[in-house]
Copies of this chain bind each other. A is one copy, B any other.
Amino acid sequence: MEWTRAARYRAYDQYSALELMKLQAQATASPAQLHYHIRPQSGLLNDPNGFSYFNGEWTVFYQSFPFGAAHGLKSWVRLSSPDLVHWTNHGVAVLPDSDFDSHGAYSGSAHEVDGKLFLMYTGNHRDADWTRTPYQLGAWLDQDGRVTKLAQPLIDQPETVTEHFRDPQLFFHGDRWYALLGAQRATDQRGEMLLYSAPAVTGPWTAVGPIKLPLADLGYMVECPNLISVDGVPTFVFCPQGLPQAAASYQNIYPNMYLQGKDFDYQAATLEGAGELTNLDEGFDVYASQTFNAPDGTAYLISWVGLPDMAYPTDEQNWANCLSQVKELHQVDGQLVQQPVAAMTSLRQEEHRFAGEVETITPDGGQQLELAVTIAANQQGTLYLAASVDRKQSVQLRFDTAAGELVIDRATSGPQPTPDHGTTRTLKLPAKADLKLRLFLDHSLAEVFVNDGRQVATFRYFTSQENTALAFDRPTTASGSWWQLADQNQ
């Protein structure tokens, strides 16, 4: 179907139950469908929202358009979990049903306040002439799952920014609440992050000012900004759209970057002692990552696996995208590392060990598995994931543990997302060193943790589910284990 403006903005109650049931069946039966990640029941999923700890459970929402693989009228769908791995889907939580969010309940965040979860998000409103006004809105989620929206916006669009003003990250520091927003400056249409603060989540919210970073240009818009503490290190995670390649090299259509510093001055909104702007994920498909500090201080991260302005092969099955697994963030040797959460091991089925000169790890492991492997130093070769019997179809991980390089190549894995932003990604590794990988496959999603999470590469691939081998291209000195992984219901 053609996604006309009218079709994309039709109210949810103007679709029939029968249409939705057909879309859900199509998504569920899709061979590419995820079995242990958060995925749309139908239609399109994008940004994670409201990632938080509330009422003794982990909570996350996602941006949802349930009626097709299109960026139509967005709502928030809520999930909860005891362990960050097993999620229960509670359905639509924030509907675009007020004047302020009439054209979409866009992204935002959440924080527990006095036994309720406060949601802060962007209402997307368009006038009859299609002029957009973004409102920063508030809502309360109670312990019974009921959402009550505040009657008035928390923050109106300031004159200093264009209509691109969104994605509030809410957090508490010292004795005040803060909200970090992505924006486009009105004067020069360049991207920036704006900090607001308030004595209470419901306001009054006042501008602290733009975040001051030692970066000349953040592109034309910053989406999904986050400021967290990673083991005490202030860390910005954000999506600077149109970032100049001179600022940091990236290959995806839009980057998801992080920047750490020595200290963050809340009064001056200044990151002091900033390091280098760095790609958060070395794969093809991570965007709009959301992070927060849990009550015990630990930083967790979850990402949209998908990108704006991209088409994916499942679009023709009327569904698209998923969320990444949750990662725990730490500083190790002065560097940010991303690790699977502890409960990911609860999905493991029978362990299969291997060691020595290994060629075929398994001919028929399927595409719902975890692999933990150490490839000895000073070797070249290819590790095939989701490989056909003749190895001609696969995701290739080409490693050189002498020179220190890992190339991820999905060119031979099947249909590609469009537009094409390259079919390989290259990771620099320590030279002449063992390479340690922890790798997850979920039918059309790969997540590769490199050297204990010093680098992570997350990406979709779309190959036949009959391609079930996990193998090297030649005898390779390696050891490790693999496990098939259990489903997790939503």
- Please name all residues of chain B whose beta carbon is closer than 8 Å to the beta carbon of A92 when the two chains form the complex: 18, 21-22, 25
State which of A83-91, A239-247, A328-336, A445-453 sits at the interface with chain B: A83-91
Question: Chain B interface: which of A9-17, A112-120, A201-209, A229-237?
Answer: A9-17
Count copies of this chain in the complex. Answer: 2
Q: Are B21 and A12 in contact (CB under 8 A)?
A: yes
Describe A's contact surface by its main secondary structure. mixed
Residues of B within 8 A of A17 (CB): 12-13, 15-17, 19-20, 66-67
A41: chain B residues within 8 A (beta carbon): 24
Q: Are the CB atoms of A13 and B18 closer together than 8 Å?
A: yes
* In the complex, residue of chain B having the shortest beta-carbon distance to the beta carbon of A22: B91
Assess the A15–B12 pair: CB atoms within 8 A.
no
A26 to B90 CA separation, bound complex (whole angstroms): 7
Question: Which residues on B sit within 8 Å (CB–CB) of A490?
Answer: 28
Q: Which of A160-168, A405-413, A422-430, A481-489 contacts B (4 or more CB under 8 A)?
A: A481-489
Q: Which residues of the other chain, B, contact A488 by a CB distance below 8 angstroms?
A: 487, 489
Q: Is A215 an interface residue (CB 8 A)?
A: no
A177 to B371, CA, bound (A): 50
User: When the two chains form their complex, are residues B88 and A28 in contact, meaning their CB atoms are under 8 A apart?
Assistant: yes
Q: From A95, which residue of chain B is reached at the shortest CB distance?
A: B18
Q: Are A29 and B487 interface neighbours, CB within 8 A?
A: no
In the bound complex, CA of A226 to CA of B24 (Å): 33
Interface on A for B, CB 8 Å cutoff? Answer: 12-22, 24-26, 28-29, 35, 41, 66-67, 86, 88-92, 95, 145, 346-347, 349, 486-490
A-B contact pairs, 15 of them (CB 8 A): A12-B17, A12-B21, A13-B16, A13-B18, A16-B16, A16-B17, A17-B66, A17-B67, A18-B95, A20-B20, A28-B89, A29-B88, A347-B486, A486-B487, A487-B489
